[in-house]
Amino acid sequence: MSYRKFILVLLFSATFLFPQQQPKLVVGIIIDQMRFDYLYRFKENYGEDGFVRLMKEGSNFTFAHFNYVTTVTAAGHASVYTGTTPFFHGIISNDFYNRDSGRQVYCVNDFRYSGLGGDDHMSPSNLMCTTITDQLKLSNNGLSKVISICIKDRGAILPGGKLANAAYWYYPENGNFMSSTYYMTDLPDWVKDFNNKKLPAKYAAMDWNLSKPIENYRTSFPDENKFEPDAFKEGRTSFPHSLKNIKENRKLEYLKSTPLGNQILVDFAGAVLDNEKLGQNNVPDFLAVSFSSTDYIGHRYGPNSVEIQDTYIKLDTQIAELLKMLDDKVGKGNYLLFLTSDHAVSEIPEYINTKEKHTFSSQKFSAAVKQFLKSAFGTEKLFADYSNKQVFLDHNLMKEMKLDGRDVRSKLVDFIRSNFPEVLLAFTSDNFNDKIASRNETNYILNGYNPIRSGDVTTELRADYFFDLGSGNDRTTHGTAYAYDTHVPLLFYGWGIPAQEINSPVFTIDIAATIANLLKINEPSANMGIPLIKVRSK
Active site residues: 73
Read off φ and ψ for residue 106, nearest 5 degrees.
Answer: -85, 140
Question: With b meaning 16 or more CB within 10 Å and e meaning fewer, what string describes 93-128?
Answer: bbbbbebeeeeeebbbbbeebebbbbebbbbbebbb
3-state secondary structure of 431: helix
How buried is residue 287: exposed, middle or buried, by Cβ count under 10 Å (0-12/13-18/19+)? buried
3-state secondary structure of 190: helix
**β-strand partners of 171:** 176
Side by side, which strands form the sheet with 383-387?
A: 383-387, 390-393, 457-461, 423-428
CA-CA-CA-CA torsion sign (343, 291, 505, 313): positive
Return d(Cα 211, Cα 298) in angstroms, integer. 18
Return d(Cα 406, Cα 403) in angstroms, integer. 9
Contact present, 168 and 177 (Cβ < 8 Å)? yes
H-type helices in 121-188, by residue range? 132-139, 153-160
Read off φ and ψ for residue 60, nearest 5 degrees.
Answer: -110, 110
**Residue 140 to residues 144, 145, 276, 379: CA-CA distances in angstroms?**
7, 11, 18, 57
